[in-house]
Amino acid sequence: MDRIRRLAMISLHTSPLDQPGTGDAGGMNVYVIELSRRLAQQGIEVDIFTRATSSALDPVVEAADGVSVRHVHAGPFEGLTKGELPGQLCVFAREVLRAEAAQPVGHYDALHSHYWLSGQVGALARDRWGVPLVHTMHTMAKVKNDALAAGDTPEPAARIIGEEQVVEAADMLIANTDIEAKQLINLYDAEAGRVEVVYPGVDLSVFRPLGRAAARADLGLPPDAHVLLFAGRIQPLKAPDVLLRAVAELLAQTPALRSRLVVPIVGGPSGSGLEHPESLAQLASELGLDDVVRFVPPVAQADLARWCAAATLVAVPSYNESFGLVAAEAQATGTPVLAAAVGGLTTVVRDGHSGLLIEGHEPRDWAAALRRVIEDEPLRERLSRGALEQARQFAWERTAERTLEVYERAWSFMRESVS
């Protein structure tokens, strides 16, 4: 591991300093900063390059000991959507190369890019610096387009082409789960030997059993309530509407539950959800749920842990997730998860042990699962114990160790390609 002393992380479209749960900030932001911190704890200096979105941002921010976030000026600070960012790739890449050129020759020992836009920049820097490129997709256009939510916008062909180029250019690809690895191989023709599965982690010092009663008291929740939590970005892909429709179905069947039901929606509009940011609140009103639904702005990790610990269950009804970090975080607090049986959620949630996996997004099926967990206390207690057990396999320290091994393999592959 002595070969890796300094690492360049590229996270072009969203900064690891941004608040998860709003805009384009989500699990990937948490992934980048938490992995960087654990790598730094192992003696590796990490520079994270991201696009500046405000003139007030300092050029370099020390995010943690050994971790620097470098704000790159590429395009206007505000007003650019993620779909418009490909037009700024050349400027962003130029500034990244310029930052490296100001350092002694051989300053960085490896590159790790996140999401396809960053991979495009990483591929250029790889060839210029002569160091290996490791890439993590996080999401893939072909996968998203195969499981679109109603009203969502398909990913454009330009993104698919860009992803295919990154897959070809990277020395190693990190997949979050076995399912994602197979998707890279089957949908993008990735070479199987250059795909490695590394689970993301959970900060188990933050997401831990906090005591449901204490957490509810801190948040002003009734001690005897059935708290059905959704936490994440509000957009069609994440499907918070499925939870609301299921709650309406549940109350139609069992009106007596209404007096004890609380449904917090923690997060902010994102992606195509920005086109109609009020649509979920309107749906809650149309379904007659104004008295049970609480909309909560995005919160810091410590507060999110408190919300998860306070919940009876956490619902993750997404149409697709490469991993599903919020499900892992919720389980680490001892709270069962109800999740759609899609993508990485089938790895994170162990059906019948740490939560329940639900096939499809039919509100009636989700209502039945909600009722089952609410009404069956022995089941809840068993799932809670299983959730804690399941969460122990996801730790950022383990993620960092496995990622370092991938960096070493990337060096080996690069040497082979040169020779």
Q: How confident is the model at residue 273 (pLDDT cuts 50, 70, 90)?
A: very low
The fold adopted by the segment(s) 6-201+396-418 is: Rossmann fold (3.40.50)
Q: Is 329 annotated as a binding residue?
A: yes
Q: How confident is the model at residue 53 (pLDDT cuts 50, 70, 90)?
A: confident
Reported residue count of the chain is: 419
Q: Is 144 annotated as a binding residue?
A: no
Q: Is residue 17 packed enough to be buried (19+ CB in 10 Å), middle (13-18) or exposed (0-12)?
A: middle
Work out the average pLDDT over 87-101.
Answer: 94
DSSP annotation of 269: B
Rounded to the nearest integer, the mean pLDDT of the chain is 93
Q: Is 29 annotated as a binding residue?
A: yes
Work out the average pLDDT over 139-162.
Answer: 90
> What pTM does this model have?
0.91
Give 196's strand partners. Answer: 174
Q: Is 98 annotated as a binding residue?
A: no
What are the phi and psi torsion angles at 57 (to 5°)?
A: -75, 135
Q: Is 359 annotated as a binding residue?
A: no
Q: Is 115 annotated as a binding residue?
A: yes
**Given this model, what pLDDT does residue 272 score?**
46
Work out the average pLDDT over 140-155.
Answer: 87
The fold adopted by the segment(s) 212-391 is: Rossmann fold (3.40.50)
DSSP annotation of 375: H
Q: Is 82 annotated as a binding residue?
A: yes
Give 234's strand partners. Answer: 269
Q: Is 208 annotated as a binding residue?
A: no
Q: Is 28 annotated as a binding residue?
A: yes
Q: Where does the chain hold its CATH 3.40.50.2000 domain(s)?
A: 6-201+396-418, 212-391
Q: Are 19 and 231 in contact (CB under 8 A)?
A: no
Q: Is 319 annotated as a binding residue?
A: no
**Per residue in 334-346, pLDDT tens?**
999 999 999 999 9
